[in-house]
Structure 1
Amino acid sequence: MSEANPTPSSHSNGNAVQNVADALNRILADSYALYLKTKNFHWHVSGPHFRDYHLMLDEHAAAILLTTDIIAERVRKTGGTTLRSIGDISRHQTISDNDEEFVSAADMLTELRGDNLKLVAAYREAKELATEANDNATEGLLDDWTDQAEERAWFLLEAGRTG
């Protein structure tokens, strides 16, 4: 944390708080990557379940985008610095982009499910760091985001079942 970036919170364990901010920035980058991938698939989905998938992916993208501002503001509330650009996002993201010209609807759902579960794992890791930093506000947010990502993964699994 720098002096140019004072924190309004009462966190005093600088290293632990910085670890939380770093984890949140990775989550922020992954959230933007997942948002854009979800919108990409929303725009390009095709097939017999087009309408259902198109609407579901749009809902998922909107939910993911809603978390980004909260994540960034949480980093700032603890005195951290957030991501600043698309390049910064690409340097921090762990969720892979998908630039394929064509992806089947089934493959879209499978890939997005895996990405949401990867986000769940990142939330759980960040929660451990928040616990170490005695940052219960971040812990609570991470619990909510975990539940939301697990729900998206469940919907993607169920939507992808055939038969």
Structure 2
Amino acid sequence: MSAASHTVTQSKRYLEPRSDLGADASRDISGGLTALLADVFALYLKTKNFHWHMSGPHFRDYHLLLDEQAAEIFAMTDLVAERVRKLGGGTIRSISDIAGKQRILDNNADYVEPGDMLAELEDDNRQLVAAMREVHGLCDDKGDVASASLLEVWIDEAERRAWFLYESGRH
């Protein structure tokens, strides 16, 4: 076997599903989770952006809240990516890869009012919940209880973040 054909064989083997769910389920769930991972990275960075640029009379409380939420969001990233890999899929490889897949919009404004920051992050967390529910439905359809179980925890965490953001922004 030549070195080139060995590399091609290894590449094909690398991309084969390593799950008993089947090739279609592995492909579809991996794709859904990878898109979700891009959204999670986008939400993490936006949360840190607002954390870094927070100001006003509630600075300390909001600054700490957003730092806690960013840490919780970031903690998901490795678990999502590893789940994709367990299914045999490939996942995010770069910032441009994230930018091409994310559905959570960036905010590059020079200044955002603190209340607007909280409201935007609340909406983004709710958008993330909707995306996670969609992938959860796919997992249910394909019999992937492990991914569904992880998603249930992350949905609860995102709902909690949205709730805290809502309550913190009330007047």
Q: TM-score, normalised by structure 2?
A: 0.91
Contact 1:31-1:68 within 8 A present in 2 as well: yes
| 4+ residue runs over 6 A deviation | none
Query: Are residues 1:92 and 2:97 paired?
Result: no
Amino acid at match of 1:55: L
Distance across 2 between alignment mates of 1:122 and 1:17? 18
Match of 1:60 in 2: 69
Cα deviation for residue 90 of structure 1 reads 0.3
Q: Which runs of 5+ in 1 are unaligned?
A: none
Q: Which runs of 5+ in 2 are unaligned?
A: 1-11
Distance across 2 between alignment mates of 1:23 and 1:117? 17
Match of 1:9 in 2: 19
Contact 2:19-2:26 within 8 A present in 1 as well: no
Query: Are residues 1:124 and 2:133 paired?
Result: yes
What is the SS of the residue equivalent to 1:81? coil
Query: Are residues 1:83 and 2:92 paired?
Result: yes
Structure with the larger RCO, 1 or 2 (CA within 8 Å, 6+ apart): 1
Cα deviation for residue 5 of structure 1 reads 2.8
Match of 2:56 among 47, 51, 76: 47
Larger Rg: 2
Structure with more of its chain in helix, by fraction: 2
Q: How many residues align?
A: 161
Cα deviation for residue 67 of structure 1 reads 0.2
In percent, how many aligned pairs have the same letter?
53
Query: Are residues 1:158 and 2:167 paired?
Result: yes
Amino acid at match of 1:35: Y
Match of 2:45 among 23, 27, 36: 36
Contact 1:113-1:157 within 8 A present in 2 as well: yes
Distance across 1 between alignment mates of 2:17 and 2:78? 17
Contact 1:112-1:156 within 8 A present in 2 as well: yes
Amino acid at match of 2:13: E
Cα deviation for residue 36 of structure 1 reads 0.3
Amino acid at match of 2:120: E
Match of 2:81 in 1: 72
Distance across 2 between alignment mates of 1:11 and 1:58? 37
Q: TM-score, normalised by structure 1?
A: 0.95
